[in-house]
C-alpha cells in the first residue's frame, strides 16, 4: 500500500548533547541535506552555545533549534515527563550518544502513555572518560533506557558487539550502518594556497589529520611520532578544541614547532585533504572514523593505531601500518617507513580509494538510514 499523501512535512527531532561539528553531528548534517526540503528538522541540545554544525546544513531546508534543559543531570521523574512531553509534536525521534540518554529514558518511561513516535538511538563511541573501560553505571542506565527504543544504530562492529553483549540489546534491534562520504568529491587536487595562512610549497610533504583537539585524540602523541620523520615533512592538523595549547607546547618541546601547523576547523575536508601525502591518527579510542574514509577517498595511505574498526575499514595493503594501541614507537616507525616509500604510499592509496568507493559511499549510508526510518515509522519509504 502506498503512503498516504500528507499535508505537512515530516517532522524529525534530533537530540544531541551539543551540536558542534564532530563525526556524529556532521553525519546528521549529511542526512539532513540528503533528505532535502520535504522534511522538517529540529535540533535539540542540552548545551545552548555549541551549535557550529548548523552552519553546514544546506540553505532552504527547514531546520529549527531548541534547548532541552532536562537532558543533563539526574533523571528525576518530573524532568523525564517534561522531556517526553517535548517529543509529542514529532513523527520520528533520533537520539545520539550518552548525552541524549535522559531523552531515551523519558521516551521509554512515558512514550506509550503519551503516544510518542518511534525512537532510534545512535551510538558513535566514547570520550576519554570511557576510552579504556566502560562505566558500569552507564551500562546499566543504557540497558534500562533502551528497553523500548525501536532501533539502535552503530557504525562499527565493536559497538555492535557492545550493544549486543554489554547493553543486552536484541540482535534485530541493532543495526550496523557504516559511515559514508561523498567519495567522488575527494578526487580533485586542491590548490596549494587553499588555506588562508598556510601554503604548501614545492618540495614539501604533508602528514595530515582531521581531528577535534580533544584528549581522546592524543595529538601530542602524533607530534612526537612525527618528530622522527625527515625534514621535508610537515604535520598539518585540521580541527579545533581544548587541547590546542598542549599540542603546540609539545611541538615546541620536540623542536618541530616550525613544521607543525594547526589550521583550525576546516568546514569541507575535500578542499584540503588532497594536499596531504600521508594520513595519520593517534587516538586512544575510535569507532569508525569518517576522516579515515575521507583519506581513503582522497587516495591516501594511513598510519594509525588499530583502534575501533580502523583495521576493518582500510584495504589489505594498508594493514601493516596499523600499530598496537598506545605503542608510540610503533606509530613513529610506521610513519617513517611510509615517508620513505612514495611508490608504496601511492599503491596503498589507490587500493584505499577503490575500497572507499565500493564500501563507504555516502549514497549507500543515506539509503540504509532512510530504509530504517521508513521501517520504524511504518512507511514504505522515507521521506
Q: Is 118 in the same domain as 28? A: yes
Average of pLDDT values for 80-89? 96
Q: For position 49, what pLDDT does the model report?
A: 65
Is position 3 within any domain? no
Residues paired with 278 in a beta bridge: 207
Q: For position 267, what pLDDT does the model report?
A: 82
Quote the CA–CA distance of 195 and 369 in Å, as a whole number: 34
Q: Is 355 in the same domain as 367? A: no
Predicted confidence (pLDDT) at residue 171 exceeds the cutoff of 70: yes
If one counts every other C-beta atom within 10 angstroms of the C-beta of residue 61, the result is 16
Q: Is 167 in the same domain as 191? A: no
Is position 5 within any domain? no
Q: Is 25 in the same domain as 112? A: yes
Q: For position 132, what pLDDT does the model report?
A: 74
Q: Is 46 in the same domain as 123? A: yes
- The tally of domains found in the chain comes to 2
Q: Is 175 in the same domain as 228? A: no
Q: Is 153 in the same domain as 214? A: no
Q: For position 1, what pLDDT does the model report?
A: 42
Q: Is 260 in the same domain as 248? A: yes
Question: pLDDT tens digits, residue range 30-47?
Answer: 999 999 999 999 999 877
Average of pLDDT values for 262-291? 93
Q: Is 275 in the same domain as 166? A: no
Is position 99 within any domain? yes
Task: Name which of 75, 374, 45, 271 is nearest 54 in CA terms.
Answer: 45
Between the alpha carbon of residue 130 and those of residues 16, 181, 286, the distances in Å are 18, 27, 11
Q: Is 198 in the same domain as 336? A: yes
Q: Report, in this order, helix, strand and coil percent for the chain, each rounded to 5.
A: 45, 15, 35
| Backbone φ/ψ region at 227: left (φ over 0), alpha (ψ -120 to 50), beta | alpha
Q: What is the CATH number of the domain that holds 160?
A: 3.40.50.2000
Is position 1 within any domain? no
Task: Name which of 279, 278, 154, 257 is nearest 211 in CA terms.
Answer: 279
Selected residue with higher pLDDT from 212 and 110: 110
Average pLDDT of the chain, as a whole number = 93
Selected residue with higher pLDDT from 265 and 355: 355
| Backbone φ/ψ region at 365: left (φ over 0), alpha (ψ -120 to 50), beta | alpha
Is position 89 within any domain? yes
Quote the CA–CA distance of 273 and 192 in Å, as a whole number: 11
Q: Is 193 in the same domain as 54? A: no
Look up the domain containing 170 and give its range: 10-180+362-377
Is position 187 within any domain? yes
Is position 98 within any domain? yes
Quote the CA–CA distance of 178 and 38 in Å, as a whole number: 25
Say whether the peptide bond before residue 383 is cis (omega within 30 degrees of 0).
yes
Q: Is 246 in the same domain as 329? A: yes
Quote the CA–CA distance of 238 and 336 in Å, as a whole number: 21
Amino acid at each position: 500500500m502506498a503512503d498516504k499523501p500528507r499535508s505537512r512535512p515530516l517532522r524529525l527531532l534530533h537530540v544531541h548533547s551539543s551540536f558542534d561539528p564532530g563525526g556524529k553531528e556532521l553525519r546528521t548534517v549529511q542526512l539532513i541535506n540528503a533528505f532535502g526540503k520535504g522534511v522538517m528538522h529540529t535540533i535539540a541540545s542540552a548545551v545552548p552555545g555549541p551549535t557550529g554544525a548548523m552552519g553546514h546544513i544546506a540553505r532552504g531546508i527547514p531546520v529549527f533549534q531548541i534547548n532541552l534543559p532536562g537532558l543533563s543531570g539526574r533523571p528525576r521523574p518530573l524532568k523525564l515527563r517534561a522531556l517526553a512531553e517535548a517529543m509529542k509534536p514529532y513523527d520520528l525521534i533520533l537520539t545520539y550518544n550518552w548525552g541524549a540518554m535522559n531523552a531515551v529514558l523519558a521516551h521509554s518511561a512515558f512514550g506509550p502513555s503519551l503516544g510518542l513516535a518511534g525512537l532510534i538511538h545512535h551510538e558513535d563511541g566514547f570520550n576519554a572518560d570511557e576510552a579504556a573501560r566502560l562505566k558500569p553505571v552507564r551500562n546499566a542506565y543504557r540497558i534500562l533506557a533502551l528497553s523500548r527504543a525501536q532501533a539502535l544504530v552503530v557504525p562499527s562492529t565493536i559497538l555492535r558487539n557492545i550493544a549486543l553483549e554489554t547493553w543486552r540489546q536484541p540482535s534485530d534491534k541493532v543495526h550496523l550502518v557504516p559511515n559514508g562520504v561523498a567519495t567522488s568529491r575527494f578526487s580533485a587536487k586542491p590548490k596549494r594556497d587553499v588555506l588562508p595562512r598556510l601554503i604548501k610549497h614545492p618540495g614539501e610533504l604533508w602528514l595530515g589529520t582531521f581531528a577535534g583537539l580533544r584528549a581522546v585524540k592524543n595529538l601530542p602523541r602524533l607530534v612526537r611520532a612525527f618528530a622522527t620523520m625527515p625534514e621535508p615533512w610537515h604535520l598539518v592538523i585540521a580541527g579545533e578544541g581544548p587541547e590546542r595549547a598542549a599540542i603546540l607546547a609539545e611541538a615546541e618541546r620536540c623542536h618541530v614547532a616550525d613544521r607543525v601547523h594547526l589550521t583550525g576547523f576546516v568546514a569541507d575536508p575535500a578542499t584540503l585533504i588532497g594536499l596531504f601525502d600521508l594520513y595519520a591518527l593517534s587516538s586512544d579510542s575510535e569507532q569508525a572514523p569518517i576522516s579515515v574514509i575521507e583519506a581513503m577517498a582522497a587516495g591516501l595511505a594511513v598510519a594509525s593505531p588499530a583502534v575501533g574498526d580502523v583495521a576493518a575499514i582500510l584495504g589489505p595493503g594498508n594493514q601493516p601500518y596499523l600499530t598496537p594501541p598506545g605503542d608510540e614507537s610503533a606509530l613513529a616507525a610506521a610513519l617513517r617507513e611510509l615517508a620513505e616509500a612514495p611508490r608504496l604510499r601511492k599503491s596503498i592509496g589507490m587500493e584505499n580509494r577503490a575500497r572507499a568507493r565500493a564500501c563507504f559511499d555516502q549514497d549507500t549510508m543515506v539509503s540504509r538510514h532512510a530504509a530504517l526510518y521508513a521501517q520504524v515509522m511504518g512507511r514504505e519509504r522515507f521521506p
